[in-house]
Amino acid sequence: MSAFDRLIIDRRSLLLGSTSAGITAVTLARAAPGASPAAPAKSFLRTAAPARVPLVGQPHPDTNVWAYEALVPGPEIRVRRGDRIRVTVENRLPEETTVHWHGVRVPNAMDGVPHLTQPPIAPGETFAYEFDLPDAGTYWYHPHQHSSAQVGRGLYGPLIIEESHPIQVDRDLVWVLGDWRLLDDAQISDDFDNRHDMAHNGRVGNTVTLNGKVPDTFSVRSGERLRLRLINAANARMFALEFAEHRPLIVAYDGHAVTPHEPDGGRVVIGPAMRIDLVIDMTGKPGGRSMITDRFYRGLEYRFVDLVYDTVPLRQRLLDAPIELEPNAVPEPDMRSAERHEVTFNGGMMGGMMSNRGGMGGMNMMEMMHSGKIWFINGVAATGHVLDPMLKLQCGRSYVLALNNETAWHHPIHLHGHCFRVISRNGIPTRYREWQDTVLMSPREKVEIAFVADNPGDWMFHCHILEHQAGGMMGVIRVGEPGSSGGTGLFCKPGQGGIRL
């Protein structure tokens, strides 16, 4: 055992005071490498287990879910940029699990992808994740094992990393958006991974929740400034929130600062796994009421929640403090030397017909449906454990990935271990060159992203509509030499340009 290996003992055996007391499930957890932490880690425990929660509220019964610490969403982890955290995950589910720290630039061994970065955590076992947090922002954690069912049953929670110098607001709020497919008795329909969901827009449910409850009203005060951290934790549902007479400004995507701007058409569009931070001034009158609506799906618009104003204003004049967030120290891609790769997405149903444009491994529609290989990246539908890299990138080098969505559907595409600039859409440069870790592609859209491949290891690259992922829309991108993932875990030095720290 190397110095970095650490023995994690099941909590129950610790409680029993002796490892000879019967329950001695142990897991060899490789502690976050590169470790000589400046500060001791802040510790958290997250037990994943079945639970019952009041999702819909009276008179409906509680819903049987899977949850962290018996809560949906799981308890927030709120720390500071530069902190180190240690999260001990205990699996009391009837199946294997892992935890992925979505969007956080962790060392590969801490990324929580079963069979790729760690063995899955068996029922009864624990695993300790420990890593530094290089970036501030809004992130979340969720399983990466059988994700469609485990996330779909309620396993997810927010991870909030505060800036060293936060902006001035009256309330900093996290809004976790959830979506459920419930039966009449408020229980979760267990038709996970059915072929229809997989081949269309995924498991879009029938019950939307805000922080684990069907929302009704939300209390605000006139003159108040809110920071709203939206996290879309749904398997497949997209949201397009409109705030009536209010003027929300987007200040971050996926945790990373962006020039504050109003969303196009006043609509905040957020696909699965994406996060958007808003700053919004409560400009309504005391005692007033205003509706937030979701208009993503045409013909299925609905009232998301009502903002209800207190009769006493908080202040007469709006705050006049700056709202621009401090940027994270992400290495800037060198566009002159960046190597370009084309990545083509196809498959899925198209008005009753499979797309038959090239590169689907020569399969016909029936074969595809039958095999569960429904979505393809560069001609490959990856189902099961993906281990062979679709791309091998040099550590420290800049890359442009030209993503071509040749399907009739939206796809939020996520790259692990890195964030990237979204530099163009359909050939038109983006205005803010926003950093993201999950980019939403519209049907037939072409999106270019650019980044420095500076985090060594094998990283998942997949659609975050979890049924599309299960239907093949995933791959592995290797950064550096095989095995380098277990190495220092430190970001490698770019060939030129240097990491801005």
| Nearest-angstrom CA–CA distance, 459 and 175 | 28
CB closer to ligand C2O out of 103 and 223: 103
Chain-centre distance of CA 388, in angstroms?
23
Shortest spacing between CB 102 and ligand C2O, in angstroms: 4
Tell me how far apart the terminal alpha carbons of the chain are, to the nearest angstrom: 34
Contacts with Cu ion in 216-235 (CB under 5 A)? none
Our CB check for Cu ion shows the closer of 401 and 492 to be 401
Backbone angles phi, psi at 500, to 5 degrees: -75, 120
Closer of 307 and 377 to Cu ion (Cβ)? 377
153 binds ligand C2O (CB under 6 A): no
* 161-196 as b/e: b if 16+ CB within 10 A: bebeeebebbeeebbbbbbbbbeeebbbeeebbeee
290-313: b (≥16 Cβ within 10 Å) or e: bebebbbeeeeeeebbebebeeeb
- Residue 154 backbone zone (phi > 0: left; psi -120 to 50: alpha; other: beta): left
Nearer to Cu ion, 99 or 199 (CB): 199
What span, in angstroms and rounded, lies between the C-alpha atoms of 78 and 141?
12
- Residue 465 found at the interface with Cu ion (CB under 5 A): yes
Site string for Cu ion, 376-415 (x = CB under 5 A): -----------------------------------x----
* Cβ 102 to Cu ion shortest distance, Å: 16
Of the residues 462, 467, 473, 494, which one makes contact with ligand C2O according to CB under 6 A: 462
Q: Would you state the structure tokens that stand for residue 5, as one six-digit string?
A: 């290996």
Which two three-digit tokens encode residue 487?
């190495």
Shorter beta-carbon distance to ligand C2O: residue 268 or 460: 460
105 sits near ligand C2O (criterion: CB under 6 A): no
Residue 232 · residue 238 · CB < 8 Å: yes
Residue 275 lies near ligand C2O (rule: CB under 6 A) = no
Place of tokens 């006139």: 222
**Interacting partner of 468 out of Cu ion, ligand C2O, none (Cβ under 5 to 8 A depending on kind):** Cu ion
Alpha helices in 83-218 (DSSP H): 147-152, 195-199
- What contacts 270, CB < 8 A, 6 or more positions away? 177, 230, 232, 238, 239, 240, 241, 276
Residues 315-344 that bind Cu ion (CB under 5 A): none
- Binding span for ligand C2O by CB under 6 A among 66-74, 218-226, 422-430, 459-467: 459-467
Smallest gap from residue 391 Cβ to ligand C2O (A) = 16
**Which of 38, 68, 46 has its CA nearest to residue 133?**
38
Toward Cu ion, which CB reaches closer, 62 or 193? 193
100 binds, among ligand C2O, Cu ion, none (CB under 5 to 8 A by kind): ligand C2O
CA distance linking residue 87 with residue 99, whole number of Å:
10
Q: Does 128 bind ligand C2O (CB under 6 A)?
A: no
Q: How far is the CB of 133 from Cu ion (least distance, A)?
A: 28
Give 142 or 468: the residue with its C-beta nearer to ligand C2O.
142
SS3 label, residue 274: coil
- Determine if 416 is a binding residue for ligand C2O (CB under 6 A): yes
- The option from ligand C2O, Cu ion, none interacting with 463 (CB < 5 to 8 A, set by class) reads Cu ion
Tell which one of 146, 275, 468, 478 touches Cu ion (CB under 5 A).
Answer: 468
Q: Which partner in Cu ion, ligand C2O, none is near 410 (CB below 5 to 8 A by kind)? A: none
Is the CB of 176 or the CB of 236 nearer to Cu ion? Answer: 236
- The entry of ligand C2O, Cu ion, none near residue 144 (CB within 5 to 8 angstroms by kind) is ligand C2O
With contacts defined by CB under 6 A, how many residues of the chain interact with ligand C2O?
10
Interface region with Cu ion, contact rule CB under 5 A, candidates 60-68, 114-122, 170-178, 468-476? 468-476
Minimum CB–partner distance for residue 144 and ligand C2O (Å): 6
Count Cβ neighbours within 10 Å for each residue of 467-501 and write b for 16 or more, e otherwise: bbbbbbbbbbbbbbeeebbbbebebbebeeeeeee
The residue (of 104 and 395) whose beta carbon lies closer to ligand C2O is 104
Coil, strand, or helix at residue 14?
helix
Is residue 144 at the binding interface for ligand C2O, with CB under 6 A as the rule? Answer: yes
Alpha carbon 268 to chain centroid distance? 17
273 binds ligand C2O (CB under 6 A): yes
Residues 6+ apart with CB under 8 A from 194: none
- Which of Cu ion, ligand C2O, none sits in contact with 397, Cβ below 5 to 8 A by type? none
Find residue 307's DSSP bridge partners. Answer: 218, 290
Q: Pick the closest to residue 100 from 501, 490, 469 (CA basis).
A: 469
Interaction partner, residue 446 (ligand C2O, Cu ion, none; CB < 5-8 Å by kind): none
**Taking CB under 6 A as the rule, does residue 100 contact ligand C2O?**
yes
For residue 460, count CB atoms less than 10 angstroms from its CB and return exposed for 0-12, middle for 13-18, buried for 19 or more. buried
Stretch that binds Cu ion, among 268-276, 287-295, 308-316, 460-468 (CB under 5 A): 460-468
In the three-class reduction of DSSP (H, G, I as helix; E, B as strand; rest coil), residue 109 is classed as helix
Residue nearest to ligand C2O (CB): 102
Chain residues in the site for Cu ion (CB under 5 A): 411, 463, 465, 468
Chain residues in the site for ligand C2O (CB under 6 A): 100, 102, 142, 144, 273, 414, 416, 460, 462, 464
